[in-house]
Structure 1
């Protein structure tokens, strides 16, 4: 029987700048999907664009949604964690590593989503850490409050059983390419708050951070046209 993609949800309906709200059917977030996965009622599926945040060592030969006609774009956010590099031991340090080493990839993610006319799925392995940072950036750039970003991030806690089942090795198939380091399976509000603090601490706010990372205000304006109702 087909499974539901774990941790799948639409980020629409969140209050944003100027009394507007994020549009439904524009951006989805989830754990890694499988071919044949179903989506809950009300979710636009399959997406027209998939942003896969996993590193090359986690990727199979073909993305499971490519056969459904989705355009697949790989935006690896943890390429810095290659063999021989000292590992980080907290999620806060992991999230800050993404900002320090993959800001250009986050810019590319925003540019892709800003110009995509159809629904976009953003996912990594669990849909928690790399996906959490990416979604937080999208939401803050369109004026969603830090409190609402944190609330959306924390919703992943309710999907931990399904995520663990998806990532757990099984004798019925090949082992998953991604496993959690010890202590990393939990949701960490402190970690995502540390990311928000970096963006909000920039002299020109999150948009200033984005532009300094190589993005443009034009891209932010287009993202707002795409993502806001």
Structure 2
């Protein structure tokens, strides 16, 4: 397992903002190579960005902001949206509005709050089953010649964002242990915003009597991502096979992503 540093940027008003770069590739396949910096960023939702935060994002030349939330979710948590000059907000919800009704929420939250990894595996399975369009859209961006920098976010920048980022790293050859370690950085990145999210989710009726389950729901333990990647391969053979069969991407698309993202280590 690679030893990841802390790739966070201090962006005023934007928790959990970090560069997906710095994940080294296995020595056996790509000795001395890593993921390109300054191209793929991930974060929590950006509604609280300050003007200084916006200026910092503009300095990073982020051209597209991929918002994975549903409209219902944005309204439920009263987070709203945030747009700024130079960046296009692309609304690519993983779950459609009608998939975020009370019954669906209860089932999904029950999956997240269960002890062990099984709940997260099923929750993340729901993400890759419902999220073929946003996954295709984001990876297609990275398959363009000389792609521009992008930001991927949901609410916490943990689950939907984490699954998509895991797939991007996987097709580049990053090993599962390193992917899981990168995913777990969210527990550092959320900071005070994580406490605010915990207060918000414990107001949901299904979670009011289960505070420990709510904490588990907001966690980002490496074993959750490891189990999810194992389950995806058991179901689809590989991340690449899933992307080609269900997301409409081609082998050429995936090879272009590798060409754009894999660079020599400094």
TM-score interval, smaller chain: 0.7 to 0.9
Q: Secondary structure at the match of 2:191?
A: helix
Change (3 A) 1:45 1:161: same
Of 184, 206, 222, 1:154 maps to 184
Structure 2 counterpart of 1:75: 92
Change (3 A) 1:99 1:163: same
Instruction: List gaps (5 residues or longer) in structure 1.
Output: 170-174
Tell me if structure 1 keeps the 8 A contact 2:72–2:100: no
Give aligned pairs, total. 221
Moved more, 213-222 or 126-135: 213-222
TM-score with structure 2 setting the length:
0.71
Tell me if structure 2 keeps the 8 A contact 1:54–1:77: yes
Instruction: List gaps (5 residues or longer) in structure 2.
Output: 1-10, 113-119, 208-213
Tell me if structure 2 keeps the 8 A contact 1:44–1:119: no
Equivalent-residue separation in structure 1 for 2:237 and 2:225 (angstroms): 20
Change (3 A) 1:147 1:122: same
Q: CA RMSD in A?
A: 3.3
How far off its partner does 1:197 sit?
A: 0.8
- Map 1:78-117 to 2 at 5 A: 78-79=95-96, 80-85=99-104, 87-88=107-108, 89-91=110-112, 92=120, 93-115=122-144, 117=147
TM-score with structure 1 setting the length:
0.81
How far off its partner does 1:62 sit?
A: 7.6
Structure 2 counterpart of 1:28: 41
Structure 1 counterpart of 2:115: none
Change (3 A) 1:78 1:48: same
2:50 is equivalent to residue 50 of structure 1: no
2:233 is equivalent to residue 200 of structure 1: yes
How far off its partner does 1:101 sit?
A: 2.2
Structure 2 counterpart of 1:135: 165
Q: Which is greater in Rg?
A: 2
